[in-house]
Amino acid sequence: MSTTERLSEIIQAYRDDHESVYHTWFINGPSRLKAFRAIRRGTEQVVGDIKAGRFPNDFRGSSLESVLASITEQKQVFEGAAHAFYWKPKLRIPDIYENERHKRAFGQFLETCLTATKEEQLLRALGGLDELKIKGLGPAVANILYFLHPTLMPPSNTAMINGFNLLFGRKLKLGCWSSYLEMRDALLQLNEQHRHLLSKDLGALSGLLFEVGAGKLVIEQNSQSVLQDVEKKRAALQKQRRQTIEVDRREDTLHTEMQFHLIKVGKALGYDVVVASNDRGRSHAGEKFSFHCLPCLPGLTIAPEVLSTVDLIDVLWFEKGASKLVCAFEVEKSTSIYSGILRLADLAITLPDEPIRICLVAPDAREKEVVAQLKRPSVLASCVKPVHYLLFSDLARDCDAMCRFGSDHGILDKIVKSVKADAPLSAAGA
Model confidence band, residue 225 (pLDDT cutoffs 50, 70, 90): very low
Minimal CA–CA distance to 206: which of 233, 180, 226? 180
First-to-last alpha carbon distance for the chain, in angstroms, is 68
Lowest-pLDDT range, 32-36, 141-145, 215-219, 311-315?
A: 215-219
For position 229, what pLDDT does the model report?
45
Is the pLDDT confidence value at 162 over 80? Answer: yes
CB 202 within 8 A of CB 151: yes
Check residue 156 and give its pLDDT.
94
Of the candidates 354, 414, 408, the one whose C-alpha atom is nearest the C-alpha of residue 385 is: 354
Confidence class for position 220, pLDDT limits 50, 70, 90 = low
Q: Give the chain's mean pLDDT.
A: 86
pLDDT > 70 fraction of the chain, expressed in percent and rounded = 87
Q: What is the 3-state secondary structure (H, E, C) of the chain?
A: CCHHHHHHHHHHHHHHCCCCHHHHHHHCCHHHHHHHHHHHHHHHHHHHHHHHCCCCCCCCCCHHHHHHHHHHCCHHHHCCCCHHHCCECCCCECCCCCCHHHHHHHHHHHHHHHHCCCHHHHHHHHHHHHHHCCCCCCHHHHHHHHHHCCCCCCCCCHHHHHHHHHHHCCCCCCCCHHHHHHHHHHHHHHHHHCCCCCCCCCHHHHHHHHHHHCCCCCCHHHHHHHHHHHHHHHHHHHHHHHHHHHHHHHHHHHHHHHHHHHHHHHHHCCCEEEECHHHCCCEECCEEHHHCCCCCCCCCCCCHHHHHHHCCCCEEEECCCCCCEEEEEEECCCCCCHHHHHHHHHHHHHCCCCCCEEEEEECHHHHHHHHHHHCCHHHHHHCCCCEEEEEHHHHHHHHHHHHHHCCCHHHHHHCCECCCCCCCHHHCCC
Nearest to 24 by CA among 76, 68, 62, 60: 76
Strand partners for 390: 361
pLDDT tens string 346-374? 788 888 778 899 999 999 988 988 888 88
Reported as a single tens digit per residue, the pLDDT across 40-87 is 988 999 999 999 999 999 998 898 998 998 898 887 789 889 999 999
pLDDT interval class at 429 (50, 70, 90): very low
Q: Is the dihedral of CA 420, 424, 427, 429 positive or negative?
A: positive
Which domains are present in the chain? 3-213 (no CATH), 250-427 (3.40.91)
Closest residue by Cα to residue 272 from 292, 247, 252: 292
Please say whether the dihedral angle defined by the alpha carbons of residues 138, 146, 309 and 274, taken in this order, is positive or negative: negative
| Among the ranges given (14-18, 20-24, 211-215, 416-420), the one the predictor scored with the smallest mean pLDDT | 416-420
**Between the CA atoms of 20, 26, 28 and 30, what dihedral angle is there, to the nearest 10 degrees?**
130
Average of pLDDT values for 37-42? 87
The whole-angstrom separation of Cα 145 and Cα 181 is 13
| pLDDT number for residue 351 | 82
Segment 87-96 mean pLDDT: 93
* Residues paired with 362 in a beta bridge: 391
Q: How confident is the model at residue 420 (pLDDT cuts 50, 70, 90)?
A: low
